[in-house]
Structure 1
């Protein structure tokens, strides 16, 4: 070995031995003078504190950490001067281990190789006045000390925390952060720009409340993973990133920035989760948000991207900007489910600039929302919900689907068997108890080529088309085509103030219809009569489940249809009702839940015309009607045929010819099949018959066999007949009138019973009317009318319903 090498090794060995001796000596000195060193250390530290630090004991170790120097402080506590008032200890550590690099120490640099803190509590407390226990640290002098240029700088290599509770309790800013650190390991480097660190942690987040009034984010969730952190001296920012971080067992990517170089200090978190269950996501936010999120759910995981930013001072909510990407999921909403749901969603709690962050200033935006609701496929191009305190929803709704899909939504109201439905609506609605309430629409609904059954009225319409236009709160009904059996109806309608009345006062809804029909068969609409009982049941159910002001647009439909009124202005080329046929019919109809009213009815029938006003009030099995009508010169045979001879048995359409004019004011009952209820008709009738012929009228034939055996009893001409009748309780009161005919002249009065009770007096001059046919003077003809023998007859019910005709004993034979 060369001499210079031997000499060098001896010098190095000597230096190492010297260092070891110094460190050993230092260790021995500290160990043998613990109390003195501890006293000096605490006194020195307390000189720079507005409070007090206590260290229970101090120990050194050289050989366990050789060649570094280890120092262990036990039972360390740090309290500010006002601790007696607030009782928040800034630092309370059972064990505080520090390992210092010996080589760096000899160079004049404090290089901390490792710090281990075990069983500690860090409590940063600020009271409501703004006083903080961190004021224990005296502010450093702003004057620069030139002598300090040569002083050593401290560097930290590694540190670890075990079983450490870390709390930031800011009463003034209403913030509370509390973490239970099971394990935290970090390795640090100190480049010229600041420092960098790689960390591994396992932490329980007891509280992360940026506003204690709203509660904590990620409460009681375990945080774990690896992070990379760095501090830039120029910007004063701490940046943290992680690609394998977990919160509550779910994987997240995290990018965070803490701007500690500025006042007030601020933070920014950018958190991503490609696969996160909705129920797990709702557990990560504050209770005021999770309460709302828990009303909803998604079966499959969704992609979430969240930005959270705020200040470490002040009591407001942090800024939140959260986006979600949903694809073909199953979304559960209050009261229903949306299948195959996809959308891109954004939540932002700073909707209006200049206002504080929070629920009242929040907005949820939905873009390209598609799904299936109650078997109806739909799309919402853009939708939003603003103000989570008093939420308002708005959006553009589109749907195009088979009309039969509406059966799932409108069960009990309508049934669709074919056709297509298309909707394009802009809606705006309040949200009450997390449900859409009283939506207001603008746009249109089109239905084409559909067969529809209106369930409450048991009415069926074929090949139906309609267009509903919502504009300025009104409903315009266009291009409506209804076909029921052989009836074809073309309709235009309008409802003013529709959407307001629909929810708040459906009984005030009035539909104004303009109706045209080439042919109308009224019998095909008898379902209107037959369904009062079922409609009542629907109404009762509606009242039980849907009050009159229900905010649900679908459930309110049965209520509105049952209570709404309709006015119809009808023009029909042909109107059929059983045997009745009319042409050029016009009428004004007013429908309500109780029945209908007809005004200004005008039509042509049987060669004449008819004008009428009428009303129908519905009952359960029978329906009450009133009719005021004027009939002008109709063919009496056709007229009687059309109305089944008005229930008369002896006088029918087969017994009559001539032209009838009449005025009638009658009321009665029809059953749910549209037929007259026997004996229900009441009212008065005035009849004028011209050029009449009485054919095979059996009561007269029975009399004539004995009284006029040589006259034509089967075909009796009646040039003119005027009569007035009153109908009541199956009885027809015949006011006195004269019959002037080719067979006989007669004066008739009395009561005709439709079933029994007939009592009619008939005064018949036996003089042959044919002998007076040549007399043109009416007065002269009237004088000779009763010349000769006059037979007084009485047609009376025998008590069994059979009418017997005999001499009227109350009058003498002339």
Structure 2
């Protein structure tokens, strides 16, 4: 059989022109030449591995300020054809000062390089690709600024060399697999550490330097710009592409904007790094269009995130972040974060803000030139709007500054119906049913343990037409108007109008050092009131009698109290000093005008000083104290009564509990001094038999009218005298009150129908024992005598009868005749 050549087959199928046949032959010849040359080269490489390894390491070592060593080298011919791939085992790269700092720049189990086969045939070694796996790269910068990255010769060193360029200028591709990268900057106190799962890069050289495209899959173990404050993006996965440009003259690396996935979120990142000895500035720009607040916070270092984690936003937000610093500086870089929040829901330590809108800015250089650290860090909230507990508010600017000792400040404005306070203030403390509030406050507040505490306010709070119930004392106020003016040193309370039932009260006051005492010692708070009232019905304020009924505090986690709890504590513990002026004063049957008093309300009770009351044609001056209890209240009164109509006086005080004598039996004008203690119930009634004390009295122009006890005693002894209207020229005496009994000190009674000497004990229950020495001489016989000594001598002339008024077994007072001796003995007892 005849053999058919390849050319004949081509000619039979597709007759080719002569030039095409020649081209095919040339290509086939070149291909056969390449195959032969490649096989020859492979044979040479395989038989000269030691010499080639020595040549490669020598070539590399000539281009670095250090040393590369490899344990062995094996060719892999089919990988990277037509280039020859060389696999170096156990490669180590160290800089020239390795013996001093002991940090290996590169340790790799596998270090693969691909060389240019044709250049190798010419006797030149050109590396086109480097692939490293199972390795560790450790960039070290000492405290004196020396870095083992100086292993790479500077451009001045390269220009000084008489060569056509190093083999590194021919590297077009590089790959890293399972490589740990560490940048330990002791001078700048920075630590960057990444585990690179896969990194693929392509290099393109130009006259200024090179451009690189990199695809990255890695894990960030540390991105600490200051190791004292912790790491950014700690333990977060990284995935994405980078376009990097290196400018050799400027010695800078520029990273073009590209999307990088950090964890589960995608960020657009750009950056610039200057790497010369003179300039090591860098900048990084990060944009995240949609990211949750917590996820964004978790990407930051601990000193920042622990502040931001006090808050949370339910919906994703738009965030930008700029980081600018110096790789060789020990200071933190400038960090500037900006976030835009729209129609979101903000969680704060004390609750939730709905319909939240604001622009948030974080910077660690709040004051230019003061450094990039915690004391100079701040969070700004611009155009903050939202609803807290259904109360709308606006803050044009709010600020949290000084992260070392955090301080919050801002201006708070709000207008809302008072009913909205029902979700903020406990219903067992205050209940608002009507009215409106207008609030404009500047505030400052410390932040301790990441909680806002001790806010300091200045500004105004206006309440108009409010209806409020103060639950612990069951007090109701209507059409209430209040203006609260907060200053840094005091709280001024103006233009207050309170209406409770028939009472109308006009008030203004102040609390000195209010906020400081509110947070440190509320029991020392004193509210100074000026109180005026056209008419005041005391019965409408009986809620102030008795101890205050405190609401049950809800136990808070970590001893945290709510605003309502703090307000309740303030009401319970603070003191109120009132200067009172009342035009008309009513309490049951008691009516007075032109009432003036100083009143102190404290946790323990009510104190009244310098009270002046116009009553029953005269006046009373009173000092008193009311100690509050659960069901009854103890009181102590020092009173001076002058020129008071005794009939109206006894009527106003329900005859002081006496049953045998009433206001209808009395006429005249009373002058008295009393020092009395006793008890009063929470509904304002005197507790029976609770009084103790002394009373001195002087009754002028007095009279006993239709006093049955006197009439029954005198109708037989003085049948022809007027017992229905007994007048007194001057009646004075002294009583000791002890419970149900009143001790009557001996006193002389000179009346129109008789004179008598009286002493003994009068009892509201049992135990009445009163002696009466009654001269039977008619006082009318001596009416024209003005000499007092003569009147006293004539007073007891004639017959003197001795009477004893005492109660029987039924408790009724009976009067009987007794001997003089018995009368004197009763007086002594």
**Pair in the same fold by TM > 0.5:** yes
Coordinate RMSD, CA, aligned:
3.3
The answer (yes or no) to whether the contact 2:460–2:485 under 8 Å persists in 1 is: yes
The answer (yes or no) to whether the contact 2:103–2:140 under 8 Å persists in 1 is: yes
Secondary structure of 1:619's counterpart equals coil
Give how far 1:235 is off. Answer: 4.0
Q: In the alignment, does 2:227 pair up with 1:227?
A: no
Q: Distance in 2 between matches of 1:195 and 1:635?
A: 113
Give how far 1:142 is off. Answer: 4.2
Q: In the alignment, does 2:174 pair up with 1:159?
A: yes
CA deviation digits over 1:608-628, x for unaligned, max 9?
Answer: 222222222223332222222
Q: In the alignment, does 2:818 pair up with 1:808?
A: yes
Match of 2:266 among 244, 247, 251: 251
Following superposition of structure 1 onto structure 2, how do residues 564-579 of structure 1 map, counting pairs within 5 Å? 564-579=574-589
Match of 2:649 among 628, 632, 639: 639
Match of 1:355 among 370, 373, 378: 370
Q: Distance in 2 between matches of 1:812 and 1:509?
A: 62
Give how far 1:800 is off. Answer: 5.1
| Unaligned runs of at least 5 residues, structure 1 | none
Give how far 1:48 is off. Answer: 5.1
Give how far 1:806 is off. Answer: 0.9
Change (3 A) 1:258 1:545: closer
| Unaligned runs of at least 5 residues, structure 2 | 1-15, 824-829
The residue that corresponds to 2:506 in the other structure is: 490
The residue that corresponds to 1:40 in the other structure is: 55
Secondary structure of 2:172's counterpart equals strand
The residue that corresponds to 1:658 in the other structure is: 668
Q: Which moved more, 1:352-361 or 1:578-587?
A: 352-361
CA deviation digits over 1:461-507, x for unaligned, max 9?
Answer: 22111111112411111001112221111011122222222222323
Q: In the alignment, does 2:715 pair up with 1:672?
A: no
Q: Distance in 2 between matches of 1:174 and 1:341?
A: 39
The residue that corresponds to 1:365 in the other structure is: 380
Give how far 1:580 is off. Answer: 0.5
Secondary structure of 2:71's counterpart equals strand
Q: Distance in 1 between matches of 2:818 and 2:386?
A: 87
Q: In the alignment, does 2:700 pair up with 1:690?
A: yes
Following superposition of structure 1 onto structure 2, how do residues 212-291 of structure 1 map, counting pairs within 5 Å? 212-233=227-248, 235-261=250-276, 263-291=278-306
The answer (yes or no) to whether the contact 1:108–1:152 under 8 Å persists in 2 is: no
The answer (yes or no) to whether the contact 2:456–2:488 under 8 Å persists in 1 is: no
The residue that corresponds to 2:570 in the other structure is: 560
Following superposition of structure 1 onto structure 2, how do residues 164-179 of structure 1 map, counting pairs within 5 Å? 164-179=179-194
CA deviation digits over 1:366-398, x for unaligned, max 9?
Answer: 112223334433222211111111111111111
Secondary structure of 1:679's counterpart equals coil
Give how far 1:51 is off. Answer: 4.6
Q: In the alignment, does 2:524 pair up with 1:514?
A: no
The residue that corresponds to 2:762 in the other structure is: 752
Change (3 A) 1:52 1:149: closer
The answer (yes or no) to whether the contact 1:438–1:553 under 8 Å persists in 2 is: no
The answer (yes or no) to whether the contact 1:363–1:386 under 8 Å persists in 2 is: yes
The answer (yes or no) to whether the contact 2:127–2:168 under 8 Å persists in 1 is: no
Change (3 A) 1:624 1:65: closer
Match of 1:327 among 329, 336, 342: 342
Change (3 A) 1:109 1:321: farther
Q: Distance in 1 between matches of 2:343 and 2:47?
A: 74
Q: Distance in 2 between matches of 1:297 and 1:304?
A: 14
TM-score (normalised: structure 2): 0.89
Give how far 1:9 is off. Answer: 7.1
CA deviation digits over 1:86-120, x for unaligned, max 9?
Answer: 65432222333334566788999987654333322
Change (3 A) 1:422 1:546: farther
Give how far 1:518 is off. Answer: 0.3
Q: Distance in 2 between matches of 1:192 and 1:48?
A: 20
The answer (yes or no) to whether the contact 2:126–2:167 under 8 Å persists in 1 is: no
The residue that corresponds to 2:628 in the other structure is: 618
Q: Distance in 2 between matches of 1:349 and 1:622?
A: 62
Match of 1:404 among 419, 423, 428: 419
Change (3 A) 1:139 1:65: closer
TM-score (normalised: structure 1): 0.91
Q: Distance in 1 between matches of 2:678 and 2:277?
A: 92
Change (3 A) 1:693 1:799: same
Give how far 1:322 is off. Answer: 0.7
Give how far 1:141 is off. Answer: 5.8
Give how far 1:73 is off. Answer: 3.0
Change (3 A) 1:617 1:4: closer
Q: In the alignment, does 2:474 pair up with 1:473?
A: no
Q: Distance in 2 between matches of 1:193 and 1:44?
A: 24
Aligned residues: 808
Q: In the alignment, does 2:743 pair up with 1:733?
A: yes
